[in-house]
Amino acid sequence: DAGVTQSPTHLIKTRGQQVTLRCSPKSGHDTVSWYQQALGQGPQFIFQYYEEEERQRGNFPDRFSGHQFPNYSSELNVNALLLGDSALYLCASIKTGSNYNEQFFGPGTRLTVL
């Protein structure tokens, strides 16, 4: 089992561009959450997908959007990039209804906006 995988590992974009990050959940998991971790900060919840729909959302602008596919993989899209969007983006997965609420985190995608 490869666990949670994310691609790409690193990405450099310029202000105003758009970016798409990808996540494959751990085998058997159906719920995917995305977090933004700015340098020196703790991860902040962006949103969560279950059954191909956004189930919860954190305090992020509409420039941040996502999608979940029938195979449970997920994408995070950020439009009109700002310098402040530079961060490590983490994906986490879990199987809804698990007795034990452990989410597995991927290694992250480091986004640099110039």
Partner 1 sequence: GEDVEQSLFLSVREGDSSVINCTYTDSSSTYLYWYKQEPGAGLQLLTYIFSNMDMKQDQRLTVLLNKKDKHLSLRIADTQTGDSAIYFCAEETSGTYKYIFGTGTRLKVLA
Read off the DSSP letter of residue 68.
E
Q: Measured from the CB atom, is 13 or 105 closer to partner 1?
A: 105
By CB under 8 A, which span of 13-21, 28-36, 61-69, 71-79 interacts with partner 1?
28-36
Cβ pair 74, 32 in contact under 8 A: yes
Q: Residues for the chain: how many in total?
A: 114
Residues 39-78 that bind partner 1 (CB under 8 A): 40-45, 48, 56, 58
Listed residue (24, 1, 109) closest to 74, CA to CA? 24
Q: Measured from the CB atom, is 20 or 44 closer to partner 1?
A: 44
